[in-house]
Each structure stands twice: as C-alpha cells, then as structure tokens.
Amino acid sequence: AQDQVIRSEKLSIAGELAAGIAHEIRNPITAIKGFLKLIEVTEDKNKKFLHIISEEIEKIAQISSEFLILSKPHVENKKEINVVDLIVSVQLLLEPQAVKKNIGIQLEYEYCDILITCDDMKIKQVLINLIKNSIEAMEKGFIKVTARDLTDHVHIYVADEGPGIPKEILDNLGQPFFTTKEEGTGLGLLICEKIIEDHNGKIIIESEMGKGTIVILRIPKGQI
Ligand code: ADP
Ligand code: MG
C-alpha cells in the first residue's frame, strides 16, 4: 500500500537567537578542528579517541550549519531561473557521492526551459537534501529526478529505489532531530519543508516498502 503525507502545517522555528547561537558555535568549532589536525599528526597512541572527537565535532558543525539555514528569515533573493539548469547542477554536484555507491542519478526529461521565480540557492539546497537522503537510503540503483511544467506550478520529483519508509517513520518525518541514521542530524527534511513553505509550495512524500520513495515538490511559479 502507498502511504502519503502532505506537509503544509506552519512550522514553528526558533528565530534570530537560534541563528546567532548557531553562528557563534561555528567559530570555536573551526578552531578546535584545526588543533585536532595538529595533534593527529604528532601523537599516535590515542589516535582512535581523536577520531571519535573529530566525528563528534563534525556532527556539531553539521547541526549548527543546518540550524543556521533553518533559523534564517524568509526567502530574500528571488529571481527567475530555469529549474532544469538547477537540477543539472545538483546532479553534477552529487554525482561523485552517488558513483561511490554505484548509484546513477538520472534526469528524466528533454532539455527545456521551466522557469520559476525562487531563491535558487535555497531550492538547490532542497534538492541536495532530498537526493542525499536517497543516496544514503540506497545500496545501488537509480535516482530519477523529473521536472514537470504545469500552468502555474512546477512539479519536481525525486524518486529512488531505496527500501522505502515505514508508516511509523513517515508520520515522524519533518520533526526536528528525527533520524534513523547514526550520523544523521534529522534536520534535512525540516529544512526542505521550511524552504518550500517559504515559496508557498508543498512537499508530498510517497513511499512503498521494498520499492522506494518519491518526494514531490510542488512550487508555484511565482513572481518577483
Ligand atoms: P537525516 O538525513 O539527517 O536523518 P532527514 O530529515 O533528511 O534527516 O531525514 C529523516 C529520516 O527520514 C532519515 O533518517 C530516514 O530515516 C528517513 N528518510 C528520508 N528520506 C528517505 C528516503 N529517500 N528513503 C528512506 N528513508 C528516508
Ligand atoms: Mg538527510
């Protein structure tokens, strides 16, 4: 059976204070990472602990940079762009990560212009988060990214051949810090939802166990 979750509720997200904290956390982390590198080359008997420290710091860095995206105010830099170009650039960016796992990223359309007015960097972030989730979920296979031009909306589909998302997990998606991954932050989908909401759009997640997951972005073409 197919499960579907439509995300449109207003998200309550911490504001400027959160952004400030996230920003302030990043500076000391950068310093710590630098000194760790130094110790790593000089000391060797406790290296495994250094490795753990590095990983944990990396996680803090990841959370604070995602938190920073989340706590930024609404979309500021809107301009008219071709969605197809955006998808191609994300494909190029993530290709190396996909190839490492024997995963292909396929773009399913003839090259064309599908213009929307949006904050292109933010929509790019959404596509990166979604395709990364697919790569992380899959052992091998294909991820298909499709763009459809509707009269006043654009639909973007990210479909994978991963294991699918169980119903109980599907219900929890988009909750802050909800993750099933050892190294996950559980902020990726929340960021996607915030960005798409800021564009007055919708995210629909459809998943079938054993078959895969399709995330559909429905974004109004908008105007400046
Ligand atoms: P993170 O990737 O850091 O775990 P996300 O918010 O991006 O955080 O995703 C939350 C959870 O949703 C993941 O931990 C995973 O369990 C599930 N998930 C998201 N996308 C997929 C997918 N394409 N296939 C299977 N599970 C997924
Ligand atoms: Mg993720």
Least confident of 22-26, 118-122, 186-190, 200-204: 22-26
What average pLDDT does the structure give for the chain?
A: 86
What does the pLDDT look like over 148-160, one tens digit per residue? 999 899 999 999 9
Q: Which two tokens stand for residue 144?
A: 């298909």
Distance of CA 67 from the midpoint of ligand 2 (Å): 13
Answer whether 134 contacts ligand 1 (Cβ < 6 A). yes
Residue 169 Cβ contacting ligand 1 at under 6 Å: yes
Say which ligand is closest to the CA of 173.
Answer: 1
CA atoms of 48 and 59, how far apart (whole Å): 17
How are the residues of the chain apportioned to helix, strand and coil, as percentages rounded to the nearest 5? 45, 20, 30
Residue 173 has pLDDT above 90, yes or no: no
According to the model, what pLDDT value does residue 11 have?
39
Q: Is 176 in the pocket of ligand 1 (CB under 6 A)?
A: no
Instruction: List C-alpha distances in Å: 152 to 127, 182, 184, 193, 201.
Output: 20, 40, 35, 20, 12
- Nearest ligand (C-alpha, residue 178): 1
Position in ligand 1 atom list of the atom nearest CA 180: 14
Per-residue pLDDT at 133 exceeds 90: yes
Report which protein residue has its CA nearest ligand 1's atom 23: 134
7 confidence band (pLDDT: 50, 70, 90): very low
Instruction: Pick the closest to residue 130 from 106, 107, 159, 154 (CA basis).
Output: 159
Percentage, residues of the chain above pLDDT 90: 53
ipTM comes to: 0.99
pLDDT at 6 over 50: no
| 202-208/79-82 β-pairing | unpaired
Q: What is the mean pLDDT of residues 62-81?
A: 79
What span, in angstroms and rounded, lies between the C-alpha atoms of 202 and 95?
26
Tell me which of 179, 182, 205 to substitute to probe ligand 1's pocket, judged by most ligand atoms within 8 Å of the beta carbon: 179
Instruction: Pick the more confident residue, 102 or 224.
Output: 102
Cα torsion 176, 181, 185, 191: sign? negative
Q: Locate tokens 């952004």: which residue?
A: 19
Ligand 1 near 181 CB (within 6 A): yes
Over range 77-97, report the average pLDDT. 94
* pLDDT tens-digit map of 8-33: 333 344 456 666 777 788 888 888 88
Q: Give pLDDT, residue 13.
A: 47
pLDDT for the residue 196: 95
Kindly report which listed range (116-125, 138-147, 177-186) carries the lowest average pLDDT score. Answer: 177-186
